[in-house]
Amino acid sequence: MATKKVGSAGRFGSRYGKTIRVKIAEIEKRQRGTHVCPYCSKQQVRRVSLGIYECRKCRAKFTGRAYTLA
CATH of the domain at 31: 2.20.25.30
Phi-psi region of 35 (alpha: psi -120 to 50; beta: other; left: phi over 0): beta
Specify if 35 maps to a domain.
yes
Specify if 68 maps to a domain.
no
pTM: 0.79
Specify if 30 maps to a domain.
yes
Could you give the number of structural domains in the chain? Answer: 1
DSSP 3-state assignment of 3?
Answer: strand
Specify if 26 maps to a domain.
yes
Q: Which residue has the higher pLDDT, 3 or 59?
A: 59
What is the chain's mean pLDDT, rounded?
91
> Rounded to an integer, what distance in angstroms lies between the CA atom of residue 33 and that of residue 39?
18
Task: Identify the domain containing residue 31 by its residue range.
Answer: 8-63
Specify if 33 maps to a domain.
yes
**pLDDT above 90: residue 6:** no
Longest alpha-carbon distance in the chain? 43
CB–CB of 36/45 below 8 Å? yes
Q: Give me the pLDDT at residue 2, please.
A: 62
